Structures are given as C-alpha cells and as structure tokens.
Amino acid sequence: MLAASSLLLVVMASPLSGLASASPAQAPSIDLAFTPSGETLGFMVAASLSSAGLTATPSPLSWSSAYQRVFYESALNFSEGGYDAYLYVQALEPQVNPFAPLYALVAGSEGSVAANLTDYERTGSGAFLAAAETAIYEAYYELPILYIKPLWAVSPGLSGLNPTCSAYYPFPWDWSGIDNVTYLEYGIQPSTVLPLFGSSGLPAYAVFQPLVQPTSSGYEPCLAVNWTEENYTTWVIQLRSGVRFQNGEPMTADDVVWSVKTAMDPVTGSVVGGFYRDVLGDDVKFVLSNGTSYYSNGTTSSPQGEVVALSDQVVEFKLPRPFSLFYPLFMSSVYVYPMSSLAKIGDLELMNSAFSRGSSAVGTGPYQIVGIRPGAYVLRAFQGYWNGSARVKYLTVAFSTISAAQAIGMLEKGEVQVVSYDFWPYQFYGYGQANATVKWLTGQPVVYAGVLLNLNSPYWGTGAYLPASKVNPLEKSIYAQELREALSCLMPRAYFAQALFYGFAQPASSPITPLQAAYAGISLPPELSYNGSLASEDLAQVGYNSTVSGLALAAYPKSLNQGEPLHLTGFAEYQGKPLGGAIITVMAGKPFKEVQKVTTTPMGTFNLTVYPPSGSYYVELTYPGNETAMGLIPPLSSPVEGPIKVVNWWEANAIYLVVLVVLVALLVVLVFHYMASRSGR
C-alpha cells in the first residue's frame, strides 16, 4: 500500500517566563470573509485581530458567495448568511466611482467636509478630498490596509513592456522581439470582454479604448484629442479623426453618444451606469448628429443633462452640476463601442450576447479577437489600427489556476512569455532576480486591499451590544467607533507590505488608490498605523479586557509539489510592541531536528523558506534568557487551517495506480477463466 506523504504544521507553545501572556479576552468573535485573491493576507489579518483576544476566524469564500453575502445579505451576520467583516482585494480603475463613500459622508457631515464640497466640484480643490478621506479613516467605516503594485514575470526575449495604471496590465502594442506571445493570467476565463461590464482582463484593453487613456505617467489623449470646459458644466470634446472599428466602420460622435446611452440604461447592468447618473443626472437627453433624440427615462420631460453629437467628430456633454473630475475621471471611463452593434443587439440582451462574450466583439484597439477556446482568447494585430499595427502579431491570453511555481516553469521553458498572477506569491520575485531566464516588471499601486466592516453589527456597527453601551446607551455609537479604531490599530500595515509583498505595497489610508484622480495623498497618522497599546485602551473603553501580545504565523502555499519551497512569514509582539531579537526555529523530520533558525527583526518580523521533507514539523519562538516558548496567537487552526500537503508523484497518481491494478487483476481473472474453459472442453 502506498503511504501518503504530508506535511503538518505543529505549533508548540507554553508561557514565556517574564513575559506573561494576555488575560482571556471577552471581545466578540469576528468571521473575516475573503475570496481567493485575498487568502494569504486574510489569514494574516485574522491573526492580527486575534492578537488582541478577539476570536477572528478566517472564512474563505467563493466570489459568488462573497458577493451575495456582502451586497444582498448585509443586514445579517456571518452565521446568518451575511458577513461580519470582508477583506476585498481588487484593482480600482477610473470606472469605479471614488465619490460613493465621500458623498455618503458629506450627506451627514458638517464643517470642513461639507463646506469644501461646492468648491471642490467647481475647481477640484484638494481641501474637500483631504477632509473627506480623513473622515473615512477617522470614522473607520472600513479599514484601509494596502495599496499593492502588480508584478509580472516576463521572458527576457520580450521588450517594450510599459505598465499602465489601467487595471494592472502592460499594454501589448509596444511589445517587440517575439511575434507570437502567450500571456498567462491567473484565474478563470471571464464571461465578458467588455469594460462596460467590469471586464479587467487584457483582452478588454487590447480590443476597446476610452476617450482618454490612463498611463504610468498620468492620462493622455486616446479617442479624444482635445476638450474644453465652459462654466463648470459644459464639456466639448473633439474626437480623433481617421479611427476605424475592427469591422471597418469609422468611429463618430454618434458612437460616443450611443455608448454612454447604453451604459446609463439600468437594464444594461453596466458597472459605470450609476457613476454616469451621478454625473449627468437620472434624466438625460441624447442627440445624434442627424438630430434624432432619445431620453434616458423614455419621455420628453426636462432633462437634467445632455449628450449631443454636434458633428461627426465633436461631442458635447452638459452636466446638471459641476464635476471637476470630468477630465480625467469621467472621460477615462467612456469606452467607445460601435453604435451599429449596440443598437442591433439591444440593451437588455447585451450582457449575454456574442459581442459581450468576445466572439463578435468589435472595438478600436490594436488587437481583435479571432478565436476563443476553453481557457483562452486568441488575438491578432489589427492592421487598420489608427496608431500603426502592433509588432507582436498574435497574442494568446490564457487563464489558469496552476501554482505560481508551475507558471514560472512554463515561462522558463518558453511555453509562455508573460505571467500575470494578480495577487500571487511575491516571494518568487527573489527567485527571479537570480535567474537569467526570468525578468520582472512592476507597475503602479493600483490594487487596493481593505476590510469592509458590516455596520449593521451590534458591536462595531451600532454598538448596542458593547458592555459600555449597557451602562451608557446614549454613547453607543461612540463606543462602536472606538472598537473600529481598535481594529484598525491592530493592522501592522508596514509589516504586511514587506513580509507578504516584498515591498511591492504600501500602507493604505483610504479606499481611493494613489493613481485614481480623486486621491488626496493623505497618510495615516503614525499613532493609528499600528498601535497595540491604543487598541488595548480602546477595547478597555468599550468594556473588554485585552492586552495585545503574541505571535502571528502564516504558511503558504498550502499545497505544493515535492521539492517546492514552503514559505513561512510572521511577526512577534508583546503588549503592543514589536518583539525583536526573538528566535524562530523550524524543526522537522523523524526524530525532529533543527531545519532552520532565524532571528526576528527589530520590527518583530521574520521570513523563512524551507524545502520540507515528508512527515511533520513545528515552529517555536524563544526569547533570549528564556528556555520556554512564547504562546503563539492565534491557535493552529486559524493561520494554517489544516495540514499542508506535500505531493509526490506516487501520491498524486495513487488513485490511477489502484484503478490500473484492479483492471489488471480483472484481466488476469478473465484470462484464467477463459483458459480454464478451453482446457475443460
């Protein structure tokens, strides 16, 4: 019988002499939900919360389950089918309206935030942004964690990759050196290629284009070449001449008008419809170049805004109120599609159409889709592209969920030329630095990671269940805010940036990323960035007894092939302060022997890479002058969630071998009976 080969992380812990562990906390439990893209960070965030005595349970969810819980069942807690806290990690692009949280705050605010709103809408003054973003983190409606840079592994033979801030993709039209490029992207093949529906894959940006294009150095003209603003509410846009769609039709102002009209129709289900209605109003008049008019509400009542094709190459936008970020925020979100295709399909059917899926997609970009197969799109350079034909003639965009190590292996063998693992293990960067067969490219910090708190919670939402609220119920909202502040203070953002992302990240101060047009450039005060003492004070203020101390540990990946490295990362602290100089020892084998030892940095952080054998191993933390290990927080089940599997060939193929043996045995029996029957005749 084949023996299974597995690796189990065993945590050995006992009180540390002279450094007493924290008293049992009475704080509420939190189920921290996250999707696959936030898994590694999710376990570390849960570990950080647990260091204060909170019972923080990591709860991985599928994308669809998380969406349902957070957006449709938010009145319920996690056990009831809703959520307590949700860690989301995503690229925030111009089509995401950054004003949603800001306007929500303004609606109930007084003083500097509301006072600067009108001035900001007219002139773009940073006073409103700074005040509003400061109000976000001071109220702790959500906990900003990190701004993350993307990272690509690239074949050395491919040149000209220039990352942009639109999603986290380098645009392919400037690439050269290889005629046929395969771009491997982590994930499953999207159901749509239209930016209109939130597609952020490379096919969307290679086929379709906006009025102005975000780049690594700012915004530059794309389908629009000039624009003027009058009286804060009227914008006149001159379109680029000579642009054709991939079906041969010329792009005109009518296509722009119809693209905005389609996006604003609620039945379309676009991701930008709400944003457009915020800017243009709910009642909008659309006028084509031949004078034909359409109304967003279906009537001829007085419109709030207008979108008018003044000529074949000029579009006019009339806004009901000033919006200083019409350029670049609004203009960069307007992708232009051929009116002939949109009108023929209809708004209601567009999302599930062949145009949306890609088989009949038509845009103005440098590539057109010429084939779709399971898990991949095949794109060919568009010879009629207005800026000259791309030098890479064929571009295959493949989607996969194989491990990062396997993806790097494919790149080394020349099977793929670019690997884009959105939130993949950044420790592979160190490997690539010493490997001549891989070069690395990084972009701007467009990916945002933050914890969305359920404000319906009777603890950190309304505050009704907090012990202090039972004594002084009139202050329950203040106590809830203090609890949210404690949760924020437990986030070692600088540590996460270094330990998990190797410096390809920075602490976040608001849900608006640095490259979004509305970013104000504020930063969290040092005392709020990570402060275990303040977290303990806040917890005591709301009625809980807690002292922040302990060690948080995460191990990844959870499944690896034999010979692949296992990465351990963590941090140690005592009473809210980093525990530098502690000794982390990895023991493994039978009997246990020391595999590796490292000392924590002055910040209390550590990183280890081991090549584990079969069997089990454990990690212990000791402090100079003490012979016993410090208690590890949280429990084993929280950061690791079960055994880490090391798979060898025999184990991976065991079921097939068993089936083969059974089939051979049956064949032998049949042959035996056949021979016996013949000999008996």
Could you read off the pLDDT of 228-246 as tens digits, one per residue? Answer: 998 889 999 999 999 999 9
Q: Judge contact between 95 and 208, C-beta under 8 A.
A: no
Asked whether residue 662 is assigned to any structural domain, the reply reads no
Q: Could you tell me if 339 and 236 lie in one domain?
A: yes
Q: Could you tell me if 341 and 230 lie in one domain?
A: yes
- The torsion angles phi and psi of 294, rounded to 5 degrees, stand at -135, 155
Q: Give this prediction's pTM.
A: 0.68
Q: Across the strands, what pairs with 10?
A: 618
Report which of residues 217 and 664 the model is more confident about: 664
Quick one: average pLDDT of 609-626?
55
Place of tokens 């949760």: 487
Q: Could you tell me if 289 and 256 lie in one domain?
A: yes
Give 669's pLDDT tier (boundaries 50, 70, 90). confident
Planar angle of CA 209, 176, 362, nearest 5 degrees = 25
Asked whether residue 8 is assigned to any structural domain, the reply reads no
Q: Could you tell me if 117 and 168 lie in one domain?
A: no
Quick one: average pLDDT of 512-539?
71
Please tell me the distance from the alpha carbon of residue 565 to that of residue 598, in angstroms, as a whole number: 17
Q: Which CATH number is 287's domain given?
A: 3.90.76.10
- Name the DSSP letter for residue 173: G
Asked whether residue 47 is assigned to any structural domain, the reply reads yes
Give 7's pLDDT tier (boundaries 50, 70, 90). very low
Residues 6+ apart with CB under 8 A from 492: 48, 530, 571
Q: Judge contact between 86 and 66, C-beta under 8 A.
A: yes
Surface-to-core class of residue 373, CB atoms within 10 Å of its CB (0-12 exposed, 13-18 middle, 19+ buried):
exposed
Give 41's pLDDT tier (boundaries 50, 70, 90). confident
Planar angle of CA 195, 257, 285, nearest 5 degrees = 120
End-of-domain residue from the set 312, 345, 378: 345
Report which of residues 597 and 475 the model is more confident about: 475
Asked whether residue 417 is assigned to any structural domain, the reply reads yes
Q: Could you tell me if 411 and 461 lie in one domain?
A: no
Asked whether residue 256 is assigned to any structural domain, the reply reads yes
Does residue 102 have a pLDDT over 60? no
Quick one: average pLDDT of 13-30?
41
Q: Could you tell me if 411 and 485 lie in one domain?
A: no
Q: Could you tell me if 339 and 401 lie in one domain?
A: no
Of 141, 209, 146, residue with least CA distance to 514: 146
Q: Could you tell me if 555 and 637 lie in one domain?
A: yes
Q: Could you tell me if 141 and 163 lie in one domain?
A: no
Q: Say what the pLDDT of residue 28 is.
A: 78
Number of domains in the chain: 4
Planar angle of CA 340, 346, 351, nearest 5 degrees = 110
Of 279, 227, 234, 289, residue with least CA distance to 257: 289
Q: Could you tell me if 195 and 223 lie in one domain?
A: no
Alpha helices in 390-462 (DSSP H): 404-412, 428-433
Question: E strands along 35-101, which residues?
Answer: 55-60, 85-91
DSSP letters of 457-499?
Answer: -TTTTS-TTSHHHHH-GGGHHHHHHHHHHHHHHT--HHHHHHH
- Residues 582-599: tens digit of each pLDDT: 777 766 655 556 777 888
Q: Which CATH number is 377's domain given?
A: 3.40.190.10
Kindly give the pairing relationship between strand 305-311 and strand 284-287.
parallel
Asked whether residue 583 is assigned to any structural domain, the reply reads yes
Surface-to-core class of residue 283, CB atoms within 10 Å of its CB (0-12 exposed, 13-18 middle, 19+ buried):
middle
Report which of residues 396 and 187 the model is more confident about: 396
Surface-to-core class of residue 440, CB atoms within 10 Å of its CB (0-12 exposed, 13-18 middle, 19+ buried):
middle
As given in the structure block, the two tokens for residue 511 are: 């849900």
Please tell me the distance from the alpha carbon of residue 481 to that of residue 458, in angstroms, as a whole number: 12
Place of tokens 């990183």: 607
Q: Could you tell me if 269 and 386 lie in one domain?
A: no
Quick one: average pLDDT of 176-203?
87
Q: Say what the pLDDT of residue 235 is.
A: 96
Q: Say what the pLDDT of residue 22 is.
A: 30
Of 285, 282, 323, 284, residue with least CA distance to 118: 323
Does residue 221 have a pLDDT over 90? yes
Q: Could you tell me if 300 and 370 lie in one domain?
A: no
Asked whether residue 588 is assigned to any structural domain, the reply reads yes
How many residues can be counted in the chain?
681
Is residue 16 classed as helix, strand or coil in its secondary structure?
strand
Give 167's pLDDT tier (boundaries 50, 70, 90). very low
Of 268, 297, 263, residue with least CA distance to 282: 297
Does residue 664 have a pLDDT over 90? no
**Torsion from C-alpha of 653, 657, 659, 663, nearest 10 degrees:** 150
Asked whether residue 356 is assigned to any structural domain, the reply reads no
- The torsion angles phi and psi of 577, rounded to 5 degrees, stand at -115, 145
How far CA 454 is from CA of 45, 196, 222, 585, in Å, comes to 16, 28, 40, 39
- Residues 287-315: tens digit of each pLDDT: 999 999 999 877 666 788 999 999 999 99
Ramachandran category for residue 248: left, alpha or beta (phi over 0 → left; psi -120 to 50 → alpha): left
- Residues 129-147: tens digit of each pLDDT: 666 666 666 667 788 899 8
- Name the DSSP letter for residue 409: H
Q: Which domain holds residue 278?
A: 218-345
Q: Which CATH number is 590's domain given?
A: 2.60.40.1930
- Name the DSSP letter for residue 249: P
- Residues 489-514: tens digit of each pLDDT: 888 887 788 767 777 888 888 777 77
Q: Which helix (H) or strand (E) holds 547?
A: none
Q: Judge contact between 298 and 224, C-beta under 8 A.
A: no
